[in-house]
Amino acid sequence: MLHSCYGINEKGHFTIGGVDTTVLANKYKTPLFVLDEQKIRENCRAYTSAMNKYFVDGSTIHYASKALSFKGIYKIMSEEGVNVDLCSLGEVYTAKSAGFDLSRACLHGNNKTDDNIREAIRAGVGEFVVDSFEELEALEIIAGEENVVQKAFVRITPNIDCHTLKAISTGQLDSKFGTPIETGQAEKLVRRALELKNVKLIGYHCHCGSQVFETQPYVNQTEIMFAFAADIMKKTGYAPEYMNLGGGFGVRYTENDPQIDIGENIRLIAEKEKEICKKYNLPEPKILMEPGRSIVANAGITLYTVGTVKHIEGYRTYVSINGGMTDNPRYALYGSKYEALLANKASLPKDTSVTIAGCCCESGDLIGENIKLQKAERGDLLAVTVTGAYNYSMSSNYNRVPRPALVIVNNGKDRLAIRRESYEDICRNDI
């Protein structure tokens, strides 16, 4: 099995967190997202324990909740003592509704409108990640009007190639995010931030991309960001209290993907950070990281019911399911690879190779091609693994398909965390 929370029980059924998925499917129906709470907590702790070990006190993670945002996840993060990264007012609202202390949240976005800025300040968001000059000036004015001194990072683009898909790379110079070092604009942005009354610069932020398997881009990014910080210190005397190195560690979706050792990655980043701080006489800042995928992806699965199984002689077998791109658009969007199994036949050999097709009226609605699977028949329960990140959060109502429910399992118990959408929900804004 790809991850430790997955298993097969004595009935030959697929389990997550020790819970029989066929029982969950009977109880909650399909399609269904299932998350293992203990795995999420374990992933958080892999970060926090390594960060406590290698970085100065006060270093921590901000869970990037774009990976999966719903009230229950903010409760878990709150209990784990983890901060959160929010990237829209919708996420701000969700976190606040869950009772999350927003002073422990930061707000991202390459285009925060004046209304967004004001609402986020009023909601009490602790830190802004300022993306551009325009945003910095707007924040200064609005924070002044709201009578607050708003803590902020500036987002810097270090110009890193992290060898992931273009669509999910962010640290390159030519990006909609952040302000580049190489053009001199980052220095100007920092100098301006230091002049302001209503914005308090607390440090720098960068993020190179997502689903990154190599450690070297992080080491390079650390070197560039700290050299930048040292240069600014030399010129202005300003030393950052925080350095936010972003998220992006890769996750194992298939047997062909490597397993990332979070602690070892952090140790290597820390080694470089300490070397550079020493070299430039820069006081070691508190380090922040923003993992999303590596906190929730492997803790999640999706359960579907198999419908039509169609074999086209000489071509391929389509196994159609009662979900698809509406709950998991990642194959359609990025060609992302997944593994699947028949949860009710989990101990049988995977001796067929199939295309898993969704039920939308669109040929590109596939979960994957050439997927190894037990022999499928109508009524089987199909599980797609590692769907905890960027599935529910990217789901849609295309074809007016309702979003699935999401269930959390924890130490053998299950609880509903997001209700299944109804057809009334789908029409609720129609006039």
Residue 324's identity, in one-letter code, is G
Q: How far is CA 227 from CA 16, 158, 217, in A?
A: 45, 11, 15
Any idea what the Cα angle at residue 75 is, between residues 4 and 113, rounded to 5°?
Answer: 115
SS3 of the chain: helix, strand, coil, percent, to 5: 35, 25, 40
Q: Which SS3 state, helix, strand or coil, does residue 341 take?
A: strand
Q: In degrees rounded to 5, what are phi and psi of residue 419?
A: -70, 150
The number of residues making up the chain comes to: 431
- What is the closest distance, in whole angstroms, from the C-beta atom of residue 79 to ligand LLP in the complex? 20
Q: Is 361 a catalytic residue?
A: yes
Among 150, 170, 172, 374, binds ligand LLP (CB under 6 A): 170
* Cis amide linkage into residue 31, ω under 30° from 0: yes
Q: Does 390 bind ligand LLP (CB under 6 A)?
A: yes
Among 220, 294, 302, 328, binds ligand LLP (CB under 6 A): 294
Among 67, 130, 266, 408, binds ligand LLP (CB under 6 A): 67
Q: Which is nearer to ligand LLP, 248 or 346 (CB)?
A: 248
Q: Which of 5, 206, 277, 361 is catalytic?
A: 361
| 390: exposed, middle or buried (Cβ count in 10 Å: 0-12, 13-18, 19+) | buried
Q: Does 77 bind ligand LLP (CB under 6 A)?
A: no
Distance CA 253, CA 395 (A): 19
* Contacts to ligand LLP from residues 238-267, by CB under 6 A: 246-248
Q: Which SS3 state, helix, strand or coil, does residue 272 take?
A: helix
x/- map, 179-218, ligand LLP, by CB under 6 A: ----------------------------x--xx-------
Helix (H) or strand (E) holding 333: helix 330-334
Q: Tell me the sheet residues that pair with 249.
A: 212
Stretch of 64-72, 228-236, 275-283, 405-413 lying at the interface with ligand LLP (CB under 6 A): 64-72
Q: Does 108 bind ligand LLP (CB under 6 A)?
A: yes
Q: Does 292 bind ligand LLP (CB under 6 A)?
A: yes
Distance CA 398, CA 137 (A): 39
Among 127, 140, 290, 339, binds ligand LLP (CB under 6 A): 290
Torsion sign (Cα): 336, 339, 344, 350: positive
Q: Which is nearer to ligand LLP, 22 or 69 (CB)?
A: 69
Q: Does 64 bind ligand LLP (CB under 6 A)?
A: yes
- What is the closest distance, in whole angstroms, from the C-beta atom of residue 68 to ligand LLP in the complex? 9
* Contacts to ligand LLP from residues 22-41, by CB under 6 A: none
Distance CA 419, CA 398 (A): 18
Q: Which is nearer to ligand LLP, 100 or 390 (CB)?
A: 390
- What is the closest distance, in whole angstroms, from the C-beta atom of residue 144 to ligand LLP in the complex? 26
Q: Which is nearer to ligand LLP, 289 or 381 (CB)?
A: 289
**Within 13 Å of residue 192, how many CA atoms lie on the same side as its CB?**
19
* Contacts to ligand LLP from residues 320-339, by CB under 6 A: 330
Among 171, 291, 323, 324, binds ligand LLP (CB under 6 A): 291
Q: What is the total count of residues that contact ligand LLP (CB under 6 A)?
A: 21
Distance CA 136, CA 179 (A): 12
Q: Does 293 bind ligand LLP (CB under 6 A)?
A: yes
Query: Taking each helix axis from N to C terminus, what angle separates 133-145 and 185-195, rounded to the nearest 10 degrees?
Result: 10
Q: Which residues are catalytic?
A: 361
* Residues binding ligand LLP (CB under 6 A): 64, 66-67, 85, 108, 168, 170, 207, 210-211, 246-248, 290-294, 330, 390, 394
